[in-house]
Structure 1
């Protein structure tokens, strides 16, 4: 464990010296703490290609809850305000001890990685990257604990994504009320 802490420290120093380094993924052990479990507000999504995020165009806003599931899983339950409807969905992330922090999600075993918002200088943020290897696409979603989103936060997210040559974005307009998360409120 000391070796991992040393590597984490070295990476933190490298981030300061080279700000375009990608963030370090969060392990399932870290994600299972009060710092990450609970309610998150969706801010936006980024990708390399427009078609990878096309389905998010009709999402006005979303609120999700991250919770620990059974049998080595994390559950992300969400209420999406899409067009004029509230749609509740859930995604199950399976934790395989040998592959942690990379998790599988869904039947096609798409890959999911959770990243610390400190990468964009936002201690109240969470970044979720989904790699769908079956149809070769990537989505990077930004969430915040705060219901309100600042333009500065969106700029930081876009800037860091630009470091990774990710330049397609959809930012949630948030013109409607947030939907109720079923079973949590």
Structure 2
């Protein structure tokens, strides 16, 4: 009898805690709204990297601390199972750094693998922002969330949404790029 009362109390307490949580389903990452019939075409074109989030105490954001801004171009390769990424990164002290890599598209999946890095997994999550995407990158040494937008400036409500989603996933270290300098030209 005592066991049943204790079980019932713990159940009610759990429901109470869930009702207080700011991490409802709207603030959790979900791939449900990705249009799998159009994937990956809806992600081709120009993107601006705006912010990143990671678990506190890790070095997952270290790469981005020297950046002022970054613009990306995403193109379909001749081989349909590959995406070509090109970046023009402006470093805080002025120079431009070009980068390029290939994402592999496993057949029937919406997850991406980075060519040359078989342990790296990239998942896409469309937020409420109609011109944004959140990427979750994980490998053996880090996990982080990255926010990209079709425009270099993002409305504050969507930046707050990214911060809430990040926090709900346990990524509470947030880095926002300063974007104080001109963007670099992407090399083709």
TM-score interval for Structure 1 and Structure 2 normalised by the shorter chain: 0.7 to 0.9
- Residue number in structure 1 paired with 2:77: 69
Correspondence 1:152 to 2:157: yes
- Residue number in structure 1 paired with 2:138: 131
| Unaligned segments of structure 1, at least 5 residues | 1-16
Question: Residues 28-177 of structure 1: matches in 2 within 5 Å?
Answer: 30-33=38-41, 35-49=42-56, 50-71=58-79, 72-83=81-92, 84-97=94-107, 100-109=109-118, 110-116=120-126, 119=127, 121-133=128-140, 135=141, 137-177=142-182
Aligned pair partner of 1:182 in 168, 172, 187: 187
Contact 1:31 1:37 survives alignment (8 Å): no
| TM-score of the aligned structures, taking structure 2 as reference length | 0.77
| TM-score of the aligned structures, taking structure 1 as reference length | 0.78
Deviation of the 1:66 alpha carbon: 1.1
- Residue number in structure 2 paired with 1:18: 25
Aligned partners of 1:43, 1:153: CA distance in 2, in Å? 11
- Superposed CA deviations along residues 84-140 of structure 1, whole A, max 9, x for unmatched, are 110110121111215x11221131211111221xx2x2001011211113x2x1121
Aligned partners of 1:21, 1:55: CA distance in 2, in Å? 25
What secondary structure, in the 3-state scheme, does the structure 2 residue paired with 1:30 have?
A: coil
Aligned partners of 1:82, 1:36: CA distance in 2, in Å? 25
Q: Aligned-pair RMSD on alpha carbons?
A: 1.9
Larger Rg: 2
| Unaligned segments of structure 2, at least 5 residues | 1-23
Aligned partners of 1:182, 1:28: CA distance in 2, in Å? 30
